Structure 1
Amino acid sequence: MFHSRVLGALTGAAMALGMTGAASAAELRYAHVGAEGDIQTIFAAQAAEGIGSATNGEVTVNVYPASQLGGVAEMVDGVRMGSISLGHHDFASLARLVPEVAVFNAPFIYRDGAHALAATDPATSPALQAINEKLVAQGVRIIGRIYRGDRQISANFPVKSPADLAGKPFRAVPLELWVSMVKGFGAIPTPVEVAELPTALMTGVVVGQENPLTMIAANNLNEVQSHIAMTGHMRAVLAVFVNEDVWQGLTEEQRTAITKVLDDEAKKSLQMAQEGEAKLVEELKGRGMTIITEADGLDIAAFREKVNAQIAQDFPNFTPLIEQIAAIQ
């Protein structure tokens, strides 16, 4: 089965590469790890359909969701080698190819969702274009992005400033960037895998965590957490990336059509995320959670100042890129 899957992957890459002339046909294999119903899964399905229409059927995109072609590392390797044509995941998933690309996942880097899309636009963002040049040298090119939603803080007490979390154990995703951010929150970073999170919150191993509202609702964290602080500290944007040889094997008209479809779908993903968050706020209120916003005294500026200082200390090479991103309108 493994051999047949690899053979199928290589055949798909060969079809994507074996093209001549303006009317060349291509079959692209698009892999991702998103589950059914997630914004990223809807994005991939709609992008595949749109690309087929925009290229008059010359480019066919077959989507393999839910880790069908492997986990994140396998998917990134597959795209780099060409056995998978394209895929999507957090920008940081490409950091082992080019470490600085993780900056696009940094906290408090975007003013709002629209700024996040502008800063990650491969056609116009100077910061992304500079990093893309390095990625291309590794055989991968970012050609689009997906807006997945904002991450918020939950706790079993009101959180309005970093002082409220001072010295308290707070769940950190087991990655360096997250550990640094939680230090900036004023808390003690405590790595907990997501599967163990409800138990860790219930038993007091950690007193709080941060995630998009979709995850908080889906995992019923309202049963072990009473408050949500709408910090929006991370605006989750995923990179859509393609094998460079596959990309160069397409005609210029096909590349233009694909990037237009991906850009249109990125804007739709932002709208979907924003509308979904508004509904989730009301749903979580209905489940008994208290939602804290700036109108209730949430000091987002204090969080931003402390977290930015910690990130600058721990990731000094991010600083020029963060300044470049901040200047994007």
Structure 2
Amino acid sequence: MLKRLAVALTVTTALLASAVAKAETLRFGHANAPGEVLNDLFNEFAEKVKERSGGELEIQVFPSEQLGKEVDLIQQVKFGALDISAPSMPAMAGLVPALEMASTPFLWTDWAEAEQVLRGPAFEPLWDELRDQHNIVPLTKISYWGWRNFTFTDREVRKPEDMAGLKIRVPESPIWVEMIRAFGAAPTPIPFGEVYTALQQKTVDGQENPIPTIYSRKYYEVQGVLTLDRHMLQNNTVLISKITWDRLSEEHQKILREEAEAISKKNSELQQGRERDMLEEIRKSGRTKIIEDVDIEAFKAAMEPVYPQLAERWGQENWQRLQDAIAEIRKQ
């Protein structure tokens, strides 16, 4: 009887342990809102992970900064309070300043060039630093969100001098502050979720974002001018806390990485098509005048004195490695 009881207890314990193992739930907080393609893809990511893991991994998705602002979510991931998030690379500059280099104004020729460099060895030491010093592991390092452009309440901006005296909303990241100052305007940090209201109430005179954000967040409804200067390329990531990562099985790690890469690739393809369509919808709305004859060279010239200051913060070695990688691609 005692032997049977011992066996029964062992089996029961094993079953309970198995049940606990199958109850692994990961929390995924991000800034994208319903209606944006990335929000839909993050939900698809959660479904695919659950399906492939046989229900052993479940992901609860919290959009629209429900769990905190973008920079707060990164800190939560670092300390294991949040499992997964999907910030832009510059948002991580508070941890690894050189990750901000990906958003250097007027750096990239096109998306293909950026993708090749960001996936290559030039950025590898930065991802290693993020993992080793800040407990954050990238599930995917690159996902296209779009070229960033300016919108203004009513001023037609074609060159930096046209921005003189304007208050421009910027994200909480140093590179934006330096860029706006270089163009002669006043950088005004405002949380992402409060931008529409700030534009509507004229707390600021303008903002800058990719076309999909300008469209989905309806900024064009309260901004009379859209200047297509394509000053930055925004790249998003999907990150997981190393504290979470280390407790997962290799199989579960593989599933998360593969599914994150799958949605990132899908997003990059979808978003580029949507970017064109959304710009056309903004044009058709008649609410916003689209400025296309922009003096890009004048904007680049205004940025030239700023690059050495930025490189100082990023580390000269990191900046040179990036420049060398870009030069090598352009020789091909």
Residue-by-residue CA offset, 1:155-179 (whole Å, 9 max, x unaligned): 43443333443x3424141643212
**2:61 aligned residue:** 63
Structure 1 residue 199 and structure 2 residue 201: aligned?
A: yes
3-state SS of 1:298 partner: coil
Which residue of 108, 126, 133 corresponds with 1:131?
126
2:170·2:207 contact (CA, 8 Å) conserved in 1?
no
1:90·1:105 contact (CA, 8 Å) conserved in 2?
no
**2:185 aligned residue:** 188
Q: What is the 5 A alignment of 1:111-130?
A: 111-121=109-119, 125-130=120-125
Which residue of 215, 219, 230 corresponds with 2:228?
230
Distance 1:173 1:263, change over 3 A: same
Residue-by-residue CA offset, 1:163-217 (whole Å, 9 max, x unaligned): 443x342414164321211133x2222426323223327xxx63x4322334434
Which residue of 306, 311, 330 corresponds with 1:310?
306
1:40·1:146 contact (CA, 8 Å) conserved in 2?
no
Which entry has the higher C-alpha Rg, 1 or 2?
A: 2
State how far apart, in whole Å, the 2-side matches of 1:79 and 1:113 are: 28
Q: Aligned AA for 2:290?
A: I
Structure 1 residue 169 and structure 2 residue 169: aligned?
A: no
2:176·2:187 contact (CA, 8 Å) conserved in 1?
no
How many residues end up aligned between the 2 structures?
297
Structure 1: segments with no counterpart, 5+ residues: 1-14
Q: Aligned AA for 1:135?
A: L
3-state SS of 1:309 partner: coil
Distance 1:73 1:153, change over 3 A: closer
Q: What is the 5 A alignment of 1:69-148?
A: 69-121=67-119, 125-137=120-132, 138-144=134-140, 145-148=142-145
- Measured after TM superposition, the shift of residue 270 of structure 1 is 1.5
1:54·1:258 contact (CA, 8 Å) conserved in 2?
no
Aligned-pair identity in percent equals 25
State how far apart, in whole Å, the 1-side matches of 2:273 and 2:121 are: 29
Residue-by-residue CA offset, 1:114-164 (whole Å, 9 max, x unaligned): 33444443xxx3233211222222211122143222211224344333344
3-state SS of 2:294 partner: coil
State how far apart, in whole Å, the 1-side matches of 2:238 and 2:149 are: 24
Residue-by-residue CA offset, 1:75-126 (whole Å, 9 max, x unaligned): 22332222322112122333333333333333333333333444443xxx32
TM norm structure 1: 0.76
1:180·1:311 contact (CA, 8 Å) conserved in 2?
no
State how far apart, in whole Å, the 1-side matches of 2:113 and 2:51 are: 29
Structure 2: segments with no counterpart, 5+ residues: 1-16
CA RMSD of aligned residues (A): 3.1
